[in-house]
């Protein structure tokens, strides 16, 4: 079941810039004001994970792509592309519905994501729990 919301071309271009060009550290996506399209709301090259978390609003839904870098003991550095679905409990129910039913459209258009995070509060997207998820799936 899907909402029928579309994906703006700019979303795909910005994703390619992050994935291939490494121009951004993370991208935050949202919905256009008329709720018909998924658009880029922010890009950043700030390396601090905390800055990224600050871009997830307390009572509004977002999606995000984060270029997650971590150390595997004895194996060196790894990079993973995280797909974060941010739907805080305090968000309006209509927005939660819209984001949940539109996620598939966005997710399918972005190729090469290794880990998906579904977050409803900050503990679920905290660095440690994300690191745990990202390092578990990598071999």
Partner 1 sequence: MVNYGGDEVSALVLDIGTSTVRAGYAGDDTPKAIIPTSYGFKKDASAEEDVSMTEPGEEGDASPKPSPKVTMYVGNNGPTVWREGMEVAHPVRDGLIQDFGPIPALASYAFRDVMRCDPTEHPLLVTEPAWNTASNRERMAEIMFEDFGVPAFYIANTGVLNAFAAGKGSALVIDIGHDTASVTPVIDGFVLRKGLAHSALPQLVRAHAHHLLTSSNSSRPGIQLLPHQLIANKQAVDAGVPPRFTLRADRQAGTTESWRKWYEDREVEEWIQAVAGVLDQGWNEQAAAQRGARHYEFATGYNYYFGSERFSVGEQFFTHSPQLVASNPNLPKSIPALITQSLSACDPDIRQVLMGNVVLTGGGSLFAGLSERLSNELSRNFAHVKIHAPGNPTERRYGGWLGGSILASLGTFHQLWISKEEWQEHGSKIVAQRCK
34 vs 58, beta carbon nearer partner 1 = 34
Q: Where on the chain is the footprint of partner 1 (CB under 8 A)?
A: 1-6, 34-36, 61, 85, 87-89, 91-101, 103-104, 107, 118, 120, 124
25 vs 99, beta carbon nearer partner 1 = 99
Q: Which long-range contacts (CB under 8 A, 24 or more apart) does 34-37 make?
A: 35/5, 35/98, 36/5, 36/6, 37/5, 37/6, 37/7, 37/8
23 vs 137, beta carbon nearer partner 1 = 137
Query: What is each CA distance from 63 to 74, 78, 96, in whole angstroms?
Result: 33, 22, 12
Q: How far is the CB of 47 from partner 1 (least distance, A)?
A: 28
């Amino acid at each position: 079941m899907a909402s029928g919301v579309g994906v703006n071309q700019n979303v795909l271009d910005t994703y390619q810039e992050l994935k291939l060009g490494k121009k951004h550290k993370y991208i935050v996506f949202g919905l256009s004001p008329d709720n018909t399209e998924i658009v880029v709301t922010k890009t950043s090259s700030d390396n601090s994970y905390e800055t990224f978390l600050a871009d997830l609003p307390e009572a509004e839904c977002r999606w995000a792509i984060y270029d997650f870098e971590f150390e595997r003991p004895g194996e060196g550095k790894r990079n993973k592309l995280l797909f974060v679905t941010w739907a805080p409990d305090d968000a309006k129910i209509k927005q939660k519905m819209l984001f949940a039913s539109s996620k598939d459209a966005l997710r399918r258009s972005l190729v090469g994501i290794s880990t998906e995070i579904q977050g409803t509060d900050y503990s679920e997207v905290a660095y440690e729990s994300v690191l745990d998820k990202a390092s578990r799936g990598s071999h």
